[in-house]
Structure 1
């Protein structure tokens, strides 16, 4: 550790965040021709819980001559000490400032981290705007779910990578190394890269607006393609899974092994961005997953493994997988955990086996309080499914259930809002009817997120409820929750409003982000640092109205800011799904019937796994 860094660590919270040197981290002292700073724009505890970051770390460090190092956003106390001492943002593995690296890559999974991206660039001693970074080094790139609408960060990032990093990042690194050897300028490199599939270069697109503020035209420049297609990993069994990975030296949010079963989702919930942009569905074989899970537990010393995917209970060989893992875990007192379950394919037998080592509550996400609205969002779960599952669980001795819902969904009425309370009471009554341990009491936790319309979903055209309407609906639901056995929590409307603006913002929103950051915005995902007034003032200073982005319905023929990016799903399909939502018509899942979304075009053989 460098002496100047060692001097300040005694003055900050959780200094282990900033020291590096963890078991399993990669150090390369010779033969390195390309250094990559893999940046996560939030704290160490959150970033180290991200499986994608661990995968990319492993993929890049497996390349000869490439050294990938980790960078996290320092908490405000550490940032203050670093700025006082003149210590630039550095990578954990070497302690070197990232301004001297070849490539700086940001992982963007949440829009509320955008201000941290600018803050990290500034703390590194770099200009935040792409046009002010003239040289090829460092090249600033970004990937993750958020880059399916890259425009709010278009002024700050050189290259966006829509799609899956294992496929596109190694190729980018090789292209960069060749450009570096050949002495290409940044401009020449970006121009050549734009001709390759999977790279969106924002400087090669000009956005033109109508007088009403909507987009008139997106003009590709210098031969750039009109639309950039995402790249995907075709064979998940051949994709790297980091069995030997970094063991954090301090507690993190998800302090366990995470095992990814498959990518994509067969369900098609109409509000879910990940369910669309990660299509088509691609699975790992259960035999490989068992081997990888046992290998990861053995290498790390963790005592818990969690199965990760968008809908884990939809993995067809889930029972065989759990049997294989549990046969190793149970004798060693290691636990296997499942995330939020679907009520329509819940297995009590499986849950009894899974929770033999450590029993916890159950979690379900009905999303809406009435069947009409669940059909409108294509949730494909009935009240009967949920109550039958709860009855089975309660009769088996469970007494804690978490229920996740969403407020503000398209077509929602007050009847739908009150239906959430009604459904929670029906679950409570089911406990008293079915549980053999009624004297121990029951705990039902109801949580409501607030609907945020996201790009590349059937609801990308929808208006978000206003702050006042959200507050009215929250108050309405609170007034209907009258049992002490039911607790209710909800998301903050101001945060959800800004998330909607950043999710569907155009290129002009970039100046709002920069203005808010220069006025102190950072860690906006954290309640203690988020200031709605700061962002409101930034919008006013830039002459933009957040309601234009959040609370306005888009028309079918409106040109959307993210039209230059293709997720593989046809826009016509998304619009048809929107129309079906207004008729409360469901679309069957992909296993029962291919619905023609278009994502199968990304497979050379023209079909999805399911």
Structure 2
């Protein structure tokens, strides 16, 4: 029988103890007598981490190996964090309840910048030296992956390895190398140096960085001749036959995504210029319809979930969307299984489908115009016209909906005050479209929720060179939109929300940061920074004090324009999409020119032949 790592009195004193006891349905239990113990970590609370598809995929893939036992670990919430520090309780894995420090590998998925101090919490509670340079063979190899690994430099001092790309490709090669290293008695440094020879593996300690007097990077070079100068992302071209879990772990408590998740494709054809995911996950790769049908059956049966969701950056662009949606409706609607269809473009087909699977009186429709004016939507290459938005909203209202959510960004490149005010104008036009319906045919009062986030330039996007607004500029723009909403004819039907500016500024610093940020990240953690993505825990003063202590100017990372010639911290990574193409897109943005999506015509981004594959299955 397993012995829980936490005593009963501790479990009874904390919020949601089920976060920490493991033993869920489909959790994998193995003998400790395996060659490799791998702890897979999502550095956020259990409910968030259990909703992450990537970890479920790797958990299933690793545990199919007879020589490996992969277990899970998540960030303890603040209540348990305090207890564990006070009573010196080491962080443990859910399955075995063994200390993380006893594992061979600690793999951490890095989904967003605001979890960086949670990563340090994981290391701290595990008793693993924070700095990679201080670790020995007695410590786990700490690996980072996920979207933020595409600029790993702010975290370079804390990680032994970064895996660049999709985990299904070369992890087996890395694990086999580790077994060889143990068998032949290599030291840790030899293993890391050999690991750097594997495609997609980046070992930060094997590179040195020098800087110009103005703070920009002068050179980024490997310290040994056999270490590659560039690291190439790894992608699965045949996603239909790639590893995917038929028996995902079922959480004990309600999670953010408490449902079966069916990934229908990877990548996106749209080319929005602000979107990092749309660039780093190119080319688009679709899963076969027959495979999706098979896995839908298997996953619903193995989990007992009552909802299934289609996962994709843009579900409407899946070429056989009608086939999978109609299958799910025909097969599962009568059994009480709900069907969730995120990332749909609002057209006649989508509305027809949603009317069949949603309670129209309770549900709301989501549009993401991102910008209020057509001019600015052209700048960001959104590929969405006001006519399409109003037509979609009109069809929805005619179909019985009365609730609409609209998502925009403030602070986009070339933005003017008129662009900001057009956010309110577009919301009002949508409300007017609703009130054109005869009163006796309306479904109550129209409810439009407008939300604005603040724009953060991200690596590997056409906007990676542009200056970012500061806190006061962001808040000033939100004030303009708020006032304009109040001035609209249908203002009582419109609710306006905006994001926290301080959080956005920190995100911007970390997103385009370099290695010099690492000491400040550590100091912010020591000052109490934790769960920075959670508003009730975030205090920018901890970070500003840390930046001041290490003489770092946040504006250097956020408000400064970069030139094409400048060496960016992430330039050593090859993602397929070329730097030349990204710059060309930035130039087109300044001219307000729209670039066709991948299905309409190849734009020559570089992803079409990356890794020996073809873009959009050769249909360009």
When residues 345 and 450 of structure 1 are mapped into structure 2, their CA distance, relative to the original with a 3 A threshold, is farther
Pairwise CA RMSD: 1.5
2:418 aligned partner:
415
SS of residue matched to 1:516? helix
2:331 aligned partner:
328
When residues 451 and 102 of structure 1 are mapped into structure 2, their CA distance, relative to the original with a 3 A threshold, is same
Q: CA deviation at 1:104?
A: 0.4
2:515 aligned partner:
507
1:184 aligned partner:
186
1:288 aligns with 2:291: yes
When residues 359 and 316 of structure 1 are mapped into structure 2, their CA distance, relative to the original with a 3 A threshold, is farther
* Residue-by-residue CA offset, 1:499-557 (whole Å, 9 max, x unaligned): 01100001101111011111111111111111101100000001001110011111111
- Are the equivalent residues in 1 in contact too, given 2:407–2:452 (CA < 8 A)? yes
1:194 aligned partner:
196
Q: Pick from 556, 560, 569 the counterpart of residue 564 of structure 2.
A: 556
Deviates more, 1:374-383 or 1:78-87: 78-87
1:341 aligns with 2:344: yes
CA distance, structure 2, for counterparts of residue 278 and residue 143 of structure 1: 14
2:384 aligned partner:
381
CA distance, structure 2, for counterparts of residue 11 and residue 333 of structure 1: 37
1:258 aligned partner:
261
CA distance, structure 1, for counterparts of residue 5 and residue 339 of structure 2: 42
CA distance, structure 1, for counterparts of residue 199 and residue 346 of structure 2: 40
1:578 aligns with 2:581: no
Pairing of 1:393-472 with structure 2 (within 5 A): 393-434=396-437, 437-438=441-442, 440-472=444-476
* Residue-by-residue CA offset, 1:344-379 (whole Å, 9 max, x unaligned): 676332222333799621111000000010000000
- Are the equivalent residues in 1 in contact too, given 2:206–2:223 (CA < 8 A)? yes
* Residue-by-residue CA offset, 1:536-591 (whole Å, 9 max, x unaligned): 00000010011100111111111101111111110000000000000010100001
1:102 aligned partner:
104
1:17 aligns with 2:25: no
* Residue-by-residue CA offset, 1:415-449 (whole Å, 9 max, x unaligned): 00000000000010011113764361111111111
Q: CA deviation at 1:285?
A: 1.2
SS of residue matched to 1:449? strand
CA distance, structure 2, for counterparts of residue 17 and residue 317 of structure 1: 38
Q: Pick from 516, 527, 551 the counterpart of residue 524 of structure 2.
A: 516
Instruction: Report the count of equivalent residues.
Output: 610
CA distance, structure 1, for counterparts of residue 97 and residue 443 of structure 2: 57
2:213 aligned partner:
211
When residues 378 and 346 of structure 1 are mapped into structure 2, their CA distance, relative to the original with a 3 A threshold, is farther
Q: CA deviation at 1:219?
A: 1.6
SS of residue matched to 2:201? coil
When residues 4 and 456 of structure 1 are mapped into structure 2, their CA distance, relative to the original with a 3 A threshold, is closer
- Are the equivalent residues in 2 in contact too, given 1:5–1:87 (CA < 8 A)? no
When residues 402 and 377 of structure 1 are mapped into structure 2, their CA distance, relative to the original with a 3 A threshold, is same
Deviates more, 1:592-601 or 1:39-48: 592-601
Deviates more, 1:492-501 or 1:27-36: 27-36
1:498 aligns with 2:501: no
Which runs of 5 or more residues in structure 2 are unaligned? none
SS of residue matched to 2:609? helix
CA distance, structure 2, for counterparts of residue 340 and residue 489 of structure 1: 21
CA distance, structure 2, for counterparts of residue 382 and residue 434 of structure 1: 22
1:531 aligns with 2:539: yes
1:270 aligned partner:
273
Deviates more, 1:508-517 or 1:334-343: 334-343
- Are the equivalent residues in 1 in contact too, given 2:170–2:198 (CA < 8 A)? no
Deviates more, 1:44-53 or 1:334-343: 334-343
Q: Pick from 92, 95, 103 the counterpart of residue 93 of structure 1.
A: 95
CA distance, structure 1, for counterparts of residue 338 and residue 128 of structure 2: 45
* Residue-by-residue CA offset, 1:201-233 (whole Å, 9 max, x unaligned): 101111100001011111211121111000111
- Are the equivalent residues in 2 in contact too, given 1:343–1:364 (CA < 8 A)? yes
* Residue-by-residue CA offset, 1:240-283 (whole Å, 9 max, x unaligned): 22121111111111111111111110000000000000011111
Pairing of 1:124-203 with structure 2 (within 5 A): 124-135=126-137, 137-203=139-205
CA distance, structure 1, for counterparts of residue 348 and residue 371 of structure 2: 18
- Are the equivalent residues in 2 in contact too, given 1:294–1:328 (CA < 8 A)? no
SS of residue matched to 1:166? coil
CA distance, structure 2, for counterparts of residue 281 and residue 287 of structure 1: 19
1:306 aligns with 2:309: yes
1:6 aligns with 2:8: yes
- Are the equivalent residues in 1 in contact too, given 2:237–2:613 (CA < 8 A)? no
Q: Pick from 480, 485, 496 the counterpart of residue 476 of structure 1.
A: 480
CA distance, structure 1, for counterparts of residue 463 and residue 242 of structure 2: 32
Deviates more, 1:318-327 or 1:133-142: 133-142
Q: CA deviation at 1:137?
A: 4.0
SS of residue matched to 2:496? strand
Q: CA deviation at 1:180?
A: 1.5
* Residue-by-residue CA offset, 1:284-316 (whole Å, 9 max, x unaligned): 012211221222112111111111111111112
1:601 aligns with 2:604: no
SS of residue matched to 1:165? coil
CA distance, structure 2, for counterparts of residue 581 and residue 375 of structure 1: 7
CA distance, structure 2, for counterparts of residue 64 and residue 238 of structure 1: 20
